[in-house]
Amino acid sequence: MCIVKPDAVTGGLTERILTAAEQSGFYIVRQTEKRLTPARARDFYRHLEGTPQFRVTAEFMSSGPIVVAVLSKVDAINSWRELIGPTDPNVARDTTPGSLRAQLGAGPGRCCSSRHSTLEPT
């Protein structure tokens, strides 16, 4: 599952991200735009609870619309990780300059897209 984050959605980057996925051999099974409530964002990111990122991530992910896309491809998780690059866009620019996060990410936590193995944010 790919989540296009609020800053990328409001910045008009959704189509560019999903087109890059398709050009990399992914099939978009389903996509929808939604807005997470703060409670749903906290629940979805509960694996970060107790870390400094938890509050910031939950607040950011509930700050605007997101696009959730179910992607399909052989070895999809590893392929998506390669396409999006390291979590920190600044690191991605140094190590994987062709990655989505290197090209589109604004900074740590503002990395345009993420991957999740669950089907839907709860």
Active site residues per annotation: 116
Report how far residue 62's alpha carbon sits from residue 70's, in angstroms, rounded to the nearest whole number.
20
Supply the DSSP string of 39-105, one letter for each residue.
HHHHHHTGGGTTSTHHHHHHHHHTSS-EEEEEEE-TTHHHHHHHHH--SSHHHHHHH-TTSHHHHH-
What are the backbone dihedrals phi and psi of residue 93, each rounded to the nearest 5 degrees, phi first? -60, -35
Residue 89 in contact with residue 63, Cβ under 8 Å?
no
